Structure 1
Amino acid sequence: MSAIVRLENVHAAYGQEPILTDVAAEAAAGERVAVVGPNGAGKSTLLKVLLGLVPHVVGHVEVAGQSVTPGHPPSGVAYVPQSQVMGLDMPVTVWDVVAMGLLRRGFWPKKPGPKERAEVERALVAVDMLEWREELFGNLSGGQRQRVLIARALIRNAPVWLLDEPVTGLDAPTQEVIEHLIDGLCTDGVAIIQVTHDLEPARLRQFDQVWCINRRLVGRGSFDEVQKRGILADTFGVPVGKRPEGKEGGGANVPSGALSV
């Protein structure tokens, strides 16, 4: 199966500070990839490399058949950041935020027509936020904001999604809505690259690949592969996915604060 996301010998830096070194990985259409690593490991930076947002990148980056270079973001990509990175003081409504997903499709700032307005409403229905369409984005709860960002991504109809901790800190109903949407996207052939701090074995087994990042790609494979080969332990510096008594399950055995981005 050919790759729709590919990184070859990628080095990335902000100014003189290297963030990622010698990263080589790929994902095919319909695959769901978990990106894991300790605090400051470069997980969010990896997504920004794929978006062309990191100023200094060496190596080859390809997304949806396009070579990605700094300052030249690829088309056909939907990006869902952590909700708190959006400016909450901006006087924009929920409908406006979702309609921003039309930007790369050439409909914005030109007024969207009936077809595009219907797309916006369908996306809001998919995340159960239609009744909030006239509400200011900054007035929403964290879970509601994340639903709106997912709706904005849905309207892109993109073959590749980049997700930065999309369910972290959200209530169970919102997590369920988002996970259901992501599962449907993968079924439809969308490639998902998702930063996550959830190291529960049962959770990571839902991903086709786990990319273990700590300023470099420590290793990748299925959860069982990276755990058996000690890659997860090498990434975090501690055993991962084991209870203190040595039995698998429960929470991941990692130091406090190691999993935040």
Structure 2
Amino acid sequence: MDVDKNLLKTLPKEFGCAPSEPISFHTQPISFLRHLIDTPHCLKLAFTGSTKTGKIILELAAKSNLKPVTLELGGKSPFIVCEDADVDKVVEVAHHALFFNQGQCCCDGSRTYIHEHVYDEFIEKAKARALRRIVGDPFKKGVEQGPQEFEISPLLCLRSKLVTATKGLMRNVLSTPSNLRRYIRSGVESNATLECGGQRFGSEGYFIQPTVFSNVQDDMLITQDEIFGPVQSILKFK
């Protein structure tokens, strides 16, 4: 797209960057990334986003000037609760491991594995904790969960030490409320049990209710994909 090419030429100058000075972009469209990676003037690229997009970036970088690439890609960290755990304590720890920063943390404990001996107790208490979670203006005292990250257009962010496409493409798309609800629908359609939440919170802004799924299986999309939102998927193990 011509507009993308023009952005690459004009934005650094408009923000007072020297031609050789590294800059940072927040971007979503893949066409913009293609132009950024293809230009020989881009000597180094670091990317935070989905594994799928990371593979595309490596391929494009190899086809251009073999520029070095640093990737921080999607994660699905397990949180494991054994049968001898203090359930009251571990429910709170697991809650914060997933819901911290609205579930928008690359190292969230987003797959919660619970031993069968404490599974039912954990589910009830995890549900109760999620229902107590206060959603709203994060600048107000007592609020635990603010809005989700909104969809970002290709904009110049700030100067940095590397040319960085951060939160690019799939990550931005998946973190919007409509796509979070798509994951939630997928969980319901896969026969996971929606214990609580799953809906938009309020009539304005990018807010989602704290959501808890039980009876989740390893082959479900909500187990395999990084949702990047306040959705706790709880699995049972023996």
TM-score, normalised relative to structure 1:
0.22
TM-score, normalised relative to structure 2:
0.23
* Structure with max Cα Rg: 2
